[in-house]
């Protein structure tokens, strides 16, 4: 089961990259990939070959061990977090009783990838990008964690399988309906956690550099790229499990229901990237601390009061 899940996770970013480019082209009234293969289907393969064949360069004054370690941290932490996701009642790696806390812990550890990459590069611009990424991810992890307290209050469990079962026991009443504010906060924080537009401040294109991975090339850069798309899939999977009823649904097989819900969340991420401009960094931090954090606390108080009143 572990081997099958890993094989699927490592292969999914390829069609996801192609699909995102095609959708962005349609949204912005321009061509997407359309030259390499029919409808550009082989463009992600060509990009992978290009990354594999490029020179694997190491900056002469970099901390070599940390420089090599940093890109692996983001992939390893995301893959470990996927180990707690119940895709169906029978397809999962380890649906243990603190699965939700384990997901939040792995999300927190992913911060080290950006910080260490910027610091180990021995580049001022890369270091600034790493610090920006760390500040952004830490700021949005707090409202993300608090947005899930309402779900825990309604189910009384940190086990992700129990959370899905609770939504099925309510006649397919999703927590997105019972917790709309928590669902919104989780999605916004998930976009920031994955460093996606409009919250892709670590990229730092205004400085003509790529943020914390400016000095990376070849397969080390590909690991950062892979980690970003795996992050998107992870947030979509967790949103499906926590708020959209997981695999529950009429008529269709459970795995197909799960895949359709995840695809809808991924489509939402791509749509948001196409229509919203990038935030300034002060706007990003203000929104996290002054808007999302108070809203998440209000959501906890309201959920607790209603749950207490209804027994």
What digits encode the pLDDT tens for the residues 215-266? Answer: 888 888 889 888 889 999 999 999 999 999 888 888 889 999 999 999 999 9
Neighbouring residues of 34: CB distance < 8 A, sequence distance ≥ 6: 40
Whether 30 and 123 share a structural domain: no
Compute the chain's Rg from CA coordinates: 20
Domain total for the chain? Answer: 2
Highest averaged pLDDT of the listed ranges 95-104, 189-198, 221-230, 260-269 = 260-269
For residue 272, report the phi and psi dihedrals to the nearest 5 degrees.
-60, -40
Whether 62 and 153 share a structural domain: yes
Residue 100 CB burial class (10 angstroms; 0-12, 13-18, ≥19): buried
pLDDT interval class at 270 (50, 70, 90)? very high
Whether 297 and 249 share a structural domain: yes
pLDDT interval class at 194 (50, 70, 90)? confident
What is the overall mean pLDDT for the chain? 88
Q: Percent of the chain scored above 90 by pLDDT?
A: 41
Contact 192, 186 (CB under 8 A): no
Whether 175 and 230 share a structural domain: yes
Whether 159 and 297 share a structural domain: yes
Whether 127 and 248 share a structural domain: yes
Whether 14 and 120 share a structural domain: no
Whether 256 and 298 share a structural domain: yes
Whether residue 207 is predicted with pLDDT greater than 70 in this model: the reply is no
User: Could you give the CA distance from residue 283 to residue 52 in angstroms, rounded to a whole number?
Assistant: 37
Whether 270 and 208 share a structural domain: yes
pLDDT recorded at residue 172:
64
Whether residue 202 is predicted with pLDDT greater than 80 in this model: the reply is no
Contact 151, 228 (CB under 8 A): no
User: Could you give the CA distance from residue 205 to residue 201 in angstroms, rounded to a whole number?
Assistant: 8
pTM: 0.92
pLDDT interval class at 148 (50, 70, 90)? very high
Which structural domain range is residue 171 located in? 54-310
Whether 36 and 60 share a structural domain: no
pLDDT recorded at residue 171:
59
Whether 74 and 17 share a structural domain: no
């Amino acid at each position: 089961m572990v081997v099958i899940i890993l094989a699927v996770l490592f292969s999914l970013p390829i069609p996801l990259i192609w699909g995102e480019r095609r959708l962005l082209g349609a949204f912005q009234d321009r061509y997407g990939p359309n030259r390499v293969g029919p409808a550009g289907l082989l463009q992600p393969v060509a990009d992978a070959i290009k990354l594999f064949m490029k020179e694997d360069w190491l900056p002469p004054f970099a901390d070599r061990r940390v420089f090599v370690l940093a890109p692996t941290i983001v992939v390893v932490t995301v893959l470990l977090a996927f180990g707690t996701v119940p895709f169906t009642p029978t397809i999962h790696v380890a649906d243990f009783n603190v699965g939700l806390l384990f997901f939040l812990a792995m999300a927190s550890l992913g911060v080290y990838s950006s910080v260490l990459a910027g610091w180990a590069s021995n580049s001022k611009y890369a270091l600034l990008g790493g610090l920006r990424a760390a500040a952004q991810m830490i700021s949005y992890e707090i409202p993300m964690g608090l947005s899930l307290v309402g779900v825990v209050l309604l189910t009384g469990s940190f086990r992700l399988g129990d959370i899905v079962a609770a939504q099925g026991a309510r006649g397919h009443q999703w927590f997105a309906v019972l917790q709309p504010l928590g669902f919104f906060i989780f999605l916004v924080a998930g976009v920031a956690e994955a460093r996606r537009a409009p919250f892709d401040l670590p990229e730092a294109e205004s400085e003509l550099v790529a943020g914390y991975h400016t000095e990376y090339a070849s397969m080390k850069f590909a690991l950062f790229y892979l980690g970003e798309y795996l992050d998107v899939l992870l947030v979509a999977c967790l949103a499906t499990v926590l708020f959209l009823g997981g695999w529950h649904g009429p008529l269709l097989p459970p795995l197909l229901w799960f895949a359709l819900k995840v695809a809808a969340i991924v489509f939402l991420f791509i749509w948001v990237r196409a229509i919203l401009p990038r935030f300034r960094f002060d706007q990003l931090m203000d929104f996290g601390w002054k808007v999302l954090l108070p809203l998440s606390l209000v959501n906890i108080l309201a959920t607790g009061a209603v749950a207490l009143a209804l027994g």
